[in-house]
Structure 1
Amino acid sequence: MAGPTPRPASDAQSSPEERTFSFVVVSNRLPVDRVETADGGSWNRSPGGLVTALEPIMAINDGAWVGWPGIADHEYEPFDSEGSWLVPVGLSEREVADYYEGFSNDTLWPLYHDVIAQPGYHRIWWEAYAAVNQRFAEAAVRVAEHGATVWVQDYQLQLVPAMIRKLRPDIVIGFFNHIPFPAYGIYSQLPWRRQILEGLLGADVIGFQRAADAGNFARAVRRLFGYSTKGTVVQVPETASDGSQRLRPVIARAFPISIETSAYSDLAKRPDVQERAKQIRDELGNPTIVMLGVDRLDYTKGIAHRMKAFGELLEDGRLRSEDAVLVQVASPSRERVETYRALRDEIELMVGRINGDFGAIGHPGISYLHHSYPREEMVAMFLAADVMLVTALRDGMNLVAKEYVASRIDNGGVLILSEFAGASDELKSALLINPHDIDGVKDAIMTAIGMPARERANRMRALRRRVIEHDVDRWSADFLAVLARSRPGTSSSVTLPGEDE
């Protein structure tokens, strides 16, 4: 993905500040990363399901994407990138600390994940969050044409929908929450609980990962505002332009996100990736059983819980390190936040203790990898793993579970999946577990290891059918179709791949 590209002469009639678009995406980060080079630097496409899902829609609709470029205290002009107009929103180092690391990730993240860690409630963080959300909203409306569709993404920008509606009531607004939405008893702890709901209710359609999340949101609205909710519709009172009072319907429902299934299946078919999977098993000492966990190093993922279960199986003698290995990929995450630094210390101490107590020469028990890998290497790991462990304590979806399933073109392997991950609503043929029940996790591991080949294949076929039929393209198409129908009388529409343009 090249850097800022000059506009062709045919487009010279509009300056960057004057260009407007029918479809605008707003997210905390732009879909590119800055790479500095000797000749000044360039922008590379970011990996991730959201970018993959929206890139073709952006190209068809001549769309714009508003977001932070990922570098503090730097201002960049809008620029073209592979068919999309990217609009950087600058953040200072202080705003990154207060809005992003503070309110987004040390207040909202733990609160929305059932207070697995204690949230911090600081007014200065809230003030930064509100100010940055206002800047994102203003950037979005500047590039939105009349009647445009604007799709706001995730918990960092929950105030943006109402801000956009106040500035530009002609815009059709969607919002998607990629993380859980907590039960009212937890949500009510937030000092700014009303302001967040008011921000979200500015949207025409609010999407959640699970029906339970949408239900939690509707209950919070009823408790705090007394608005009528029926099914997936919230009736929001508002004042019309003529001064009359009316009810504006807001749709709040589940749209479970997915992955680019074909990309993982295609990689799994490549001979070099299959050969790499064999090499991985060789490098691990050719154990009988390879178990795998792949996570960001985050306290919501239940990494310590799966390690405790594995360590107890070794201690009980039900497994031996010569026969079984747990490969744990823990990608670095938010390492400037103290909670995450403490978690890394805890996990690495646990790895050392288990390997010291139960490992053997050439067979350490746990192979711990604290870095990220390219997609090809991850697919090779998925093919090498007999058992995939997803033990999240709370997760909006958990796309790793779907990536593992998409990669198992051989219908092999067993998925052990936490019932507290959104993916459990769809992947019902997995072995579902409560990660807090260590004995239950241990039993699930032994069941997976001893599962007959025919049962493994039947379960994986059912899982793959679901992931193939409900991929990321279907997710975006479903959401945008509902959004297009949400405001009768508007001209806004978004052309989807495969439709007549």
Structure 2
Amino acid sequence: MVSSTSSTFDFVVAANRLPVDRSVSLDGTVTWTTSPGGLVTAMESVMRDREAAWVGWAGFPGDAPAPFDDGRLRLHPVGLSAEDLTDYYEGFSNDTLWPLYHDVIVPPTYHRSWWNAYRRVNERFAEAVCEVAAEGATVWIHDYQLQLVPAMVRDRRPDVRIGWFNHIPFPPVELFAQLPWRAQVLRGLLGADFLGFQRPDDARNFLRSCRAVLDATVKGDTVRWQGSDDGRLGGSPRVARAAAVPISIDAQGLRELADSPAVRARAAEIRESLGNPQVVLLGVDRLDYTKGLRHRLRAIGELLADGEIAPPEVTFVQVATPSRERVEAYRTLRQQIEGTVGRINGDFSHLGDTAVHYLHQSYGREEMAALFQVADVMLVTPLRDGMNLVAKEYVTARHDGGGALVLSEFTGAAEELHSAYLCNPHDIAGLKETILRAIRDDHEEKRRRMRMMRRQVRTRDVQAWADDFLRALEMAPARPPRARRSISRLI
């Protein structure tokens, strides 16, 4: 990665984070490595062969470093202060929007100072996007942290084509209406030509919110709204299309990685280190209250208490990647999870035979591919999830045809992976029964299910997702000439 002079690009991605992480050695040398996040993994193959720019936060507080190149990709950092991180990111994004958009599993917190920081940072992102976007460029904005950016870019650059993709659920209007700044958020999103969502229900929720909150006209998947400074009809016309474009993974790349001799050897080492159990149950999640970890551990604990499973024949491995540890709800969740794991192991583990292996750390792609091959049953049981790419990664990594996927019906993945062992994670008794069925079903039945899911992921991979999104963006309704009225003044 080298420093680069300023220039503009025909394709610009904007996301909360850059696709790289910074590390500083003892002698002060700065190096950048590819981030392990889900968005980065999904976009990596999409960006691989493009000359493009990526606008995002560099991952540390303070002034933004100068733009630099990662291969053909220009990385354009946006600076965030410590106060920005507290109010915009940890506050409004993750303590207001995140719980609201995930069915209010925990109550959202509303602070006007957080909202002001959210607007301020979104403005900063919009300015950076406009700086690197060439005339007539395609701009692809990602996720709930940047919902005001589409209109802010539109106001400055009516020449560009703007798409926005939501990686998390979009809530029903009955929940979205709780947000004090609901109209401003919708006006921000309506700066886009096309808005992509994980599930059809998410797109419908957005369209219904536009109709209920803005009194917009909705016909099919198209929303029309004429806004004025006070939010009433009669101002600048806005036309946007909203539809489901479910995200996927680089299936070919993961399969090749999982089939490598090094990964297969590592999988054998992991299984041996676990004591070569008959059945390995695996969960891989960010440590987040939406992921259903408490419900999952309760089901595992009851199965152990019932005598349905027991070490050393059956063991459960839970990878819980650290997440948002400065947010109070996440600190509380970690304490609860670790306390539950301790109680289960105290009651049901024996010397040399551990019931639950709890790993609160991150792992690279190679280690995850090996873990997937070790898992006889994968437990993906969120209470609500936009997609959950772990489910798709698991079925792809099991190129040997083995394995079984227990999947929450409240994930976007359940809309596509119909052959999984679907469950309602709120129903602990039903979840226990589903886990046992995934363990005990005959080998051919499990192979049949996995074969169908692998075919689905292989044919609808990340490149198909990107192609579908960009095609929908290109075909979005034609935009009227630039209006005199400023869209961003409505936010």
Q: Show the counterpart of 2:8.
A: 20
Q: Which amino acid aligns with 1:215?
A: R
Going from structure 1 to structure 2, the CA distance change for 1:120 and 1:314 (only over 3 Å counts) comes to same
- 1:393–1:221 CA distance, 2 compared to 1 (3 A): same
Q: What is the TM-score when the length of structure 2 is the normalising length?
A: 0.93
Q: Is the Cα contact below 8 Å between 2:241 and 2:477 reproduced in 1? A: no
1:229 Cα deviation (Å)? 1.3
Q: Contact (CA 8 Å) 2:408, 2:414: kept in 1 or not?
A: yes
**Structure 2 equivalent of residue 404 of structure 1:** 394
Please say if residues 49 and 259 of structure 1, whose CA atoms lie closer than 8 Å, have aligned partners that are also in contact.
Answer: no
- Supply the AA of the counterpart residue of 1:166: D
Q: 1:281 is matched with which residue? A: 271
**Per-residue Cα deviation, 1:203-224 (whole angstroms, up to 9, x for no partner):** 0000100001001111111111
For the residues of structure 2 that align with 1:29 and 1:232, how far apart are their CA atoms?
30
1:440 corresponds to which of 422, 430, 443: 430
> Paired residue for 1:35?
23
- Per-residue CA deviation, residues 452-489 of structure 1 (Å, 9 max, x unaligned), is 01101100000000010111111111101111122548
CA distance 1:238–1:119, change in 2 (3 Å) = closer
Please, what TM-score do these two structures have when normalized by structure 1?
0.92
Describe how 1:92-491 pairs up with structure 2 within 5 A: 92-237=81-226, 247-488=237-478
SS in 1 for 2:357: strand
- Which moved further from structure 2: 72-81 or 467-476? 72-81
Where 1:300 maps in the other structure, the secondary structure is helix
Q: Does 1:5 align with 2:3?
A: yes
Shift of 1:286: 1.7
What letter corresponds to residue 353 of structure 1 in structure 2? R
Q: CA deviation at 1:226?
A: 1.8
Q: Does 1:83 align with 2:72?
A: yes
Instruction: Indicate which of 63, 67, 73 corresponds to 1:74.
Output: 63
Q: Which secondary structure does the structure 1 equivalent of 2:290 belong to?
A: coil
Give 2:378's aligned amino acid. Answer: M
Residue identity over aligned pairs, in percent, reads 56
1:497 corresponds to which residue?
Answer: none
Aligned to 1:50: 39
Q: Deviations over 1:339-370 (max 9, x none)?
A: 11110100011001111111122112101111
State the alpha-carbon separation in 1 of the partners of residues 372 and 334 from structure 2.
24
Cα-to-partner distance string for 1:63-112 (whole Å, 9 max, x where unaligned)? 11111101101331112221111111111100011000000000000110
Q: Give the Cα–Cα distance (whole angstroms) in 2 for the partners of residues 416 and 140 of structure 1.
A: 41
Is contact 1:5–1:81 with CA below 8 Å preserved after alignment? no
Give the conservation status (yes or no) of the 8 Å contact 2:247–2:465.
yes
Q: Relative to structure 1, is the Cα distance of residues 296 and 162 closer, same or farther in structure 2, using a 3 angstrom cutoff?
A: same
1:232 partner amino acid:
D
Q: Deviation per CA, 1:427-470: give whole Å up to 9, x if none.
A: 00000000000000100011111110110110000000001011
> How much has 1:52 moved relative to structure 2?
4.4
**In structure 2, what is the Cα distance between the partners aligned to 1:342 and 1:221?**
35
Q: How many residues align?
A: 474
Does structure 2 retain, via aligned residues, the 8 Å contact 1:25–1:65?
yes
Q: Is the 8 A contact 1:49 1:472 kept in 2?
A: no
Moved more, 107-116 or 277-286: 277-286
Tell me, in whole angstroms, the C-alpha distance in 1 between the residues paired with 2:437 and 2:122: 48
CA contact 2:163–2:192 (8 Å) conserved in 1: yes
Would the aligned equivalents of 2:290 and 2:383 in 1 still touch at CA under 8 Å?
A: yes
Structure 1 vs Structure 2 CA RMSD: 1.7
Structure 1 runs not aligned, ≥5 long? 7-14, 491-501
Structure 2: gaps (5+ residues): 229-233, 481-491
Q: Please, which moves more after superposition, 268-277 or 348-357?
A: 268-277
Distance of aligned partners of 1:283 and 1:433 in 2 relative to their CA distance in 1, 3 Å threshold: same
Tell whether the 8 Å contact from 2:396 to 2:457 is kept in structure 1 after alignment. yes
The structure-2 alpha-carbon separation of the partners of 1:77 and 1:192, relative to structure 1 and needing over 3 Å to count, comes to: same
> How many Å separate the matches in 2 of 1:386 and 1:346?
27
CA contact (8 A) 1:292 1:388 kept: yes
